[in-house]
Chains A and B, each alone.
Chain A
Amino acid sequence: MKKAPVRLDDLAGAGKRPLIHLENEDLMSLPAPLDHPSKDHNWPPLSAQAGEKFECFLDDTCAVSIPQPKTKEEEDALVAKFLSGLDKLFVKENNWSFLQPLLLTMEHCAKCQTCSEACHIYEASGREEIYRPTFRSEILRRLYFKYVKHGGMLSSWQHGAITLNWPLVARLIELSYRCNLCRRCAQTCPIGVDNGLVAHELRKLFSQEMGIAPKEIHDNGSMLQLRVGSSTGMNSEVVKDNIEFIDEDISEKAGIHVETPWDVEGADVLLIHNAGEIMAWPENPGAFALILNAAGIKWTLSSEIAGYDSINYGLWYDDAQFARVAIKHAEAAKKLKVKKIVLGECGHAHKALSVIADRILTGDLNIPRESSMTLLRDIVMSDRIKLDPSRNDFPVTLHDPCNLVRLMGVVEPQREIVRKICPKFREMEPHGVDNYCCGGGSGFAIMSGHNFADWRFHVSGRKKIEQILNAFANCTDASIPKYVCAPCSNCKGMIRDMIAYYNLWESNRIHYGGLVELIVNAMVDVKPGFIDWEWR
């Protein structure tokens, strides 16, 4: 029996039950070997304990884990805080940073649903109503006209009615974390409205006014980075130790001595990695060191606070936290008097520091920032290092991180590289600026509380898995190793987790990794076999 679509009013319903529960049969179908719902994982419902303790009444999963208020007074106080934050979203003193795009989005959406068809989450969920980009926007829009513009009955007739209560706010908090902020929806809007921005602005309201954000991106994310220097928890001593270990390991593996320079004053390049690479994929910073040394680049890492971790989770939920971390990055570069900052393989760090922070970093903090993709492209295409493409003679496809591509316009450099060094390169479809998000964007890749990981593997990452399987459709056999190149740490983590979840390494020999690993794997001076065809 077809389920009745959720109505906007349902969000204000007081029932302590999720509005929807998805089953494998509801979801968008996938190609082989996942071509039947029965081949998909069972999807555990949210635990009863979580349902009793947290506000998890949207869709049977939970990203934010908001404790349930104990009294009506507590609920009313939270709603009052929400209203206060709502007002601030539309005041320039509080939200100059996004006021113009937000107002235009509030006042001009034609609700034509063109954006819905562009949204991978909506499509993958089997077109579930609450995942439409317009669903959360329509709620915010109605709240805006009613409570910010103080609209009466005429406004309600014009813009729609809405009931505000704690259940609606609680569900809206969760709903703001069912969007990857990839802005594919905005790209297709005929008017230029940005319903993806609405999720961003709601998250800001909840964080900046109510102090509510997923602990993975706030407590263990931006706060930890500002306290210790990295969201990985590594302080400068630990990171130096780890890099020293990586240098030794890579030297042995590559047969070339590798030494990572630290805190070199006046270097041409300050390279900032996503520190998650150092912990999870040490071969990535190792490969960077190898390439930059071989190309004769005068470069350095910084041991300043946040100077060795490019992540900036504030980008997804909090302007103040965003600005603080961006300033720390710039201060590290300023202290070393480097000519430019080059960002490693991390999409959101690219956009955060290169694009968004551009109107925050002023004076001597406005140090030029550049993508590692362009620097690597110049190294590879200028033949400054000798490469043998036959070493990469396996099928390779390229994932386009949204932040790097659609939101920053760095599209071709990484392609020029893989075209040159990977003879069996094939594109995903669609690709480039029309790409689909990996499903881990906007923090999801690091959010795994309760059964949220199952949700992202089944729903937000589903389109990417479909694309990967389609890209390798002519070589699915497990005797052929295949490589998904994801030049972004968060995307790579999400793709790793999905390959593991769906057992695609065992069944189809689909592996994943970064771009620099492919380059080093093709370097003539490096011992063959840099890429490990072993699952980790």
Chain B
Amino acid sequence: MTLAVYVIIYAAALVFLIASVVRAVRYARLPLHLRWELYPVPHEEPERVKHGGSYFEKVDWWEKPTHFNWWGEVKFMTPEMLFLKGLWEFNRSLWFRSFPFHFGLYLVLATIGLLIASVLIGTSALHACYMLTGIAGAALTVAGALGLLLRRLTDPNLKNGTTPADIFNLVFFVVVFGLLAAGYLTAGASFPGMLVLVHGLLTFNVSVDIPLVLAAGLVLGALLAAYIPLTHMSHFIAKYFTYHSIRWDDAPNRGDVRLARRIAANLTYRPTWAAPHIGADGKKTWAEIATTNPASGTKK
């Protein structure tokens, strides 16, 4: 059974990795879109970020030095990623469910990191840390998922948007982290501990005896990890693009050769829209269509 658990974990990790990369590459390779930013843009000059201003607030802005405030982005993204700051501001009741859920997952990820680090370094000094993060992480995730599930099932505002998969996903989280916690807490004295289990996983030592409930939690957890990047729950990937490539993409078309090349490439696409005023036939380029006047021959 131990071998099967190891194989499933490795296979799931591989699926997670490949699916995540495929999704990210797919989004990254999409053509440059028209600008569609939303203010405030945190990499603007700090005094402008305060009120949501842009470089358009300066007379002759194109003659002024460009400013990219990386620290502004870091200051925005850190509380957003760690504490879901936006949700706190705009949907407080959801935050009380969503924050424990997400923060619980971060703690579980931290637990995995700590366990792997402990094995690689060869120490058990971090035992208290990963015990704490692991148990707190699982508890918070389960509590958050239950809260989200209850809301999904009872809030009439969510009825139209809820699909069977939305319910399944939350139940999946509850089951996985419930089993992991229960499996660990009921493992008994014969279980050598998580450090030995992770060591076994990393060295493919199949002599480690994994209790049944914990094994079920590990297998389902692995399947959950493989499943996430195949769903909308992969918003940890999407969020990079929605923020950096859309909301905050205010790069002006001024002297950036790479940007100019991407724009030029877009203008060579040959659309096939069918409405007569577009005049697209699949042969004319976007630039040709944009420089024709569908009204020029019509009566004044």
| Total A-B contacts with CB atoms under 8 angstroms apart | 277
Complex contacts, B263 vs chain A, CB 8 Å? 359-360, 362
- In the complex with contacts A368-B60, A374-B56, A433-B52, A98-B33 CB distance below 8 A: yes
Q: Which residues from A are CB-within-8-Å of B32?
A: 96, 359
Interface 1/0s, chain A 114-140, versus B by CB < 8 A? 101110000000000100101100100
Q: Is the CB of A360 within 8 A of B156?
A: no
Q: Of B112-120, B132-140, B273-281, which stretch is located at the interface?
A: B273-281
Confirm or deny: A193 has a beta carbon within 8 angstroms of a beta carbon on chain B: yes
Also in contact, A100 and B238, with CB within 8 A (given A110-B232, A158-B165):
no
Does A283 touch B at the CB level, under 8 Å?
A: no
A358 to B33, CA, bound (A): 11
* Those of B35-49 within 8 Å (CB) of chain A: 35-41, 44, 48
Interface size of B by CB at 8 A reads 89
Q: Mark A91-120, 1 if CB is under 8 A from B, else 0.
A: 011101111110110011111111011100
Contact partners of A373 in chain B: CB under 8 A: 57
Contacts of B27 in A (CB 8 A): 100, 103-104
Interface residues of chain A: helix, strand, loop or mixed (majority): helix
* Chain A residues positioned under 8 Å from B53 (CB to CB): 409-412
Set B44, B57, B94, B165: member contacting A159, Cβ < 8 A: B165
Q: How far is the CA of A187 from the CA of B3 in the complex (A)?
A: 48
Considering the chains assembled together, what is the distance between the CA atoms of A422 and B238 in angstroms?
Answer: 45
Q: Does chain B have a CB within 8 A of A188? A: yes
Chain B residues positioned under 8 Å from A251 (CB to CB):
none
- CB of A359 within 8 A of CB of B40, answer no
Chain A 184-201 against B: per-residue CB contact (8 Å), 1 yes, 0 no?
001111111110010000
Residues B260 and A191 in contact, CB atoms below 8 Å apart: no
Contact between B52 and A411 (Cβ–Cβ < 8 Å)? yes
Q: Mark A260-301, 1 if CB is under 8 A from B, else 0.
A: 000000000000000000000000000000000000000000
Of the listed stretches B10-18, B208-216, B284-292, name the one at the interface; the rest are far from the partner chain.
Answer: B284-292
* B246 cross-chain contacts in A, Cβ below 8 A: 100-101, 104, 192, 194
Check if B39 sits within 8 Å of A93, measured CB to CB. Answer: no
A157 touches B34 (CB 8 A): no
Set A132, A210, A356: member contacting B275, Cβ < 8 A: A210
The answer to whether the Cβ of A321 comes within 8 Å of any Cβ in the partner chain is yes
Q: Output the residue of A84, A183, A226 with the most chain B CB within 10 A.
A: A226
Whether B266 and A359, one on each chain, are in contact in the complex, defined by CB atoms closer than 8 angstroms, is: yes
Partner-contacting stretch, out of B82-90, B171-179, B188-196, B197-205: B82-90
B contact residues around A413 at 8 Å (CB): 57
A20 interface residue, CB < 8 Å from B?
Answer: no
Residues of A within 8 Å of B98, CB to CB, are: 112, 190
A118 in contact with B157 given A100-B245, A100-B246 (CB within 8 Å): no
Q: Is the CB of A96 within 8 A of B266?
A: yes
**Least Cβ–Cβ distance between B279 and chain A, in angstroms:** 8
- The interface bits of chain B over 219-260 (1 if a CB of A lies within 8 angstroms of the residue's CB, else 0) are 000000000000110110011011101110010111000001
How far is B27's CA from A108's CA once the two chains are assembled, in angstroms?
12
Q: How far is the CA of A406 from the CA of B269 in the complex (A)?
A: 31
Residues of B within 8 A of A197 (CB): 36
Interface size on A, residues (CB 8 A): 96
B154: Cβ under 8 A from any A Cβ: no
Q: Once the chains are docked, how many angstroms separate the CA of A443 from the CA of B73? A: 34
Q: Does the CB pair A226–B296 fall under 8 Å?
A: yes
Task: Take A340-B60, A370-B60 as given contacts and tell me if A362 and B267 are in contact as well, using a CB distance cutoff of 8 Å.
Answer: yes
Q: Write out the residue numbers on chain B whose beta carbons fall within 8 Å of the beta carbon of A432.
A: 51-52
Collect the chain B residues with CB atoms within 8 Å of residue A374's CB.
56-59, 61
Contacts of A470 in B (CB 8 A): none
Do A207 and B275 touch across chains, with their CB atoms under 8 A apart? yes
| A358 → B minimal CB distance (Å) | 5
Say whether A223 contacts B277, CB under 8 Å.
Answer: yes
Closest to A319 in B: B34
Q: Are A361's CB and B52's CB within 8 A?
A: no
Complex CA gap A35/B298 in Å reads 51
- Is residue B20 contacting chain A, with contact meaning CB distance below 8 A? no
Given contact pairs A405-B39, A411-B39, A354 touches B56 in the complex (Cβ within 8 A)? yes
How far apart sit A323 and B271, CA to CA, in the bound complex (Å)?
A: 14
Q: How many Å from the CB of A519 to the closest CB on chain B?
A: 16
Q: Looking at the assembled complex, report how far the CB atom of A265 sits from the nearest CB atom of chain B, in whole angstroms.
A: 20
Contact A8 B164 (CB under 8 A): no
Contact of B271 among A93, A113, A188 (CB under 8 A): A93
Bound form: Cα–Cα A196–B185 in Å: 47
Residue of B nearest to A434 (CB): B52
Q: Which residue of A lies closest to B157 (CB)?
A: A113
Q: Which residues of the other chain, B, contact A473 by a CB distance below 8 angstroms?
A: none
Given contacts A99-B31, A104-B238, A359-B34, contact A409 B159 (CB under 8 A): no
Question: Is B123's CB within 8 Å of the partner chain A?
Answer: no
A13 at the interface (CB under 8 A from B): no
Judging by beta carbons under 8 Å apart, are B38 and A187 in contact?
A: yes
Alpha-carbon gap, A209 to B271, bound state (A): 11
> In the complex, which residue of chain B has the Cβ closest to the Cβ of A366?
B253
Is the pair A7, B160 in contact by a Cβ cutoff of 8 Å?
yes
* B207 beta carbon closer than 8 Å to chain A: no
A420 within 8 Å of B (CB atoms): no
A117 to chain B, nearest CB (A): 7
Determine if A362 and B260 form an interchain contact, defined as CB atoms under 8 angstroms apart. yes
Closest 9 CB pairs of A and B: A409-B54, A192-B242, A111-B161, A433-B52, A227-B295, A323-B290, A96-B31, A211-B275, A409-B39
17 contacts between A and B (CB under 8 A): A8-B160, A85-B274, A94-B271, A99-B30, A114-B90, A117-B91, A191-B242, A193-B242, A209-B273, A224-B295, A226-B293, A226-B296, A320-B278, A359-B33, A405-B52, A407-B38, A410-B54
6 A-B pairs besides A104-B242, A406-B39 with CB distance below 8 A are A84-B274, A88-B271, A94-B272, A190-B87, A356-B36, A359-B34
